[in-house]
Amino acid sequence: MNVIGTIIALVSDAEERAVWEPIFSRMEEMSLLVEMTKIPRVVADLRNRGESVSLVIISTRVYPLAFPKLVSQARQLFPQADIMLMCLSSDPPPLSPLLADNVRHLLINPVGGPHYDLNKVVSLFDLSIRRLKNGTCLTMADYIRPGTPVHEFRLSSSEQKEDLIAELEKSIGGSSHEYEMLRMKGALLVDEMLENAFYAAPRGERAEPLYRKGEKRDLADGEDVVFRYGFDGETLALEVADGWGTLSSEDLFAHLTHHCDTHCVHDEIGGRGLFIIWRFLDTLLVRIEQGKQTVIGGHISLSTCDYLPEIKGFHITTAP
């Protein structure tokens, strides 16, 4: 959606409003924090003023468990608005209702996590809300400081993977435990992202995999696999783009939901690599152009590289 209008954030009550107020009061993007009992009055006021709503943010204390029909009701009230969930890391929602209701954006407030930085949380919320309000996609470059070099590599063979991992590890200087963890997670993420691009993305007419995982692959003419990364001294951002565009948002979310809700990660179920990528990143970014391109990436920071809560944030966008 790209309709510029009011942003409303729905919370359960005054107590929860107080939890989120320190974030929303500091953001550049002005938002209305609305308690559930006050929704009818706020909706009436917006209509009387002729204001549209471009983004509805819903707390996971409200949806999906307390008010399971809230997303569908919000879409009826505000048909031009995008929907995004927000939650505390201590309050992760079940993913199955999000899959059913086509909710594709989730922001996490990692309160209680190590090195909690309110200003950084405010900045991440502001960035996500601004992009969704304006109808533009988030990219890995949004999460690193302006001017940070973004390195790009166009691959021609699966055998280049180890060289790229070594290149990324070398670019993350430092000898502390945090740097070592960031190098380790970065290497694992690159491995899983490239495995997905080389072996999971290529599909035949019946959506069958064209290649076996682990076999040597030289890319065909016209086939693209591109790896990008940047490290600004604190945050590592990275992504891999494939030229197939065979992943659907429904399949991606089904994989995440299955592995998360069943607490099992097995190759034979499918989507294992995607689930690992999501769990290791601070925020998963997926952009899908069906039949053209899939870009999978995100970011991870030194201050959070030891932190593995039950659920992470994500932004999944699709284009026809």
Ranges of each domain in the chain: 6-134, 140-319
- Which pLDDT value is given to residue 2? 44
* Topology of domain 140-319, CATH: Heat Shock Protein 90 (3.30.565)
pTM: predicted TM-score of the whole model, two decimal places: 0.93
* Topology of domain 6-134, CATH: Rossmann fold (3.40.50)
Closest CA to 3 of 136, 129, 134, 138: 134
Please give the C-alpha separations between residue 103 and each of 65, 87, 120, 247, in angstroms, as whole numbers. Answer: 14, 14, 24, 17
Q: Within 10 Å of residue 172's Cβ, how many Cβ atoms?
A: 18
Find residue 313's DSSP bridge partners: 283
pLDDT digits (tens, 9 = 90+) for 131-144: 998 888 999 999 99
pLDDT digits (tens, 9 = 90+) for 35-91: 999 999 999 999 999 999 999 999 999 999 999 999 999 999 999 999 999 999 888
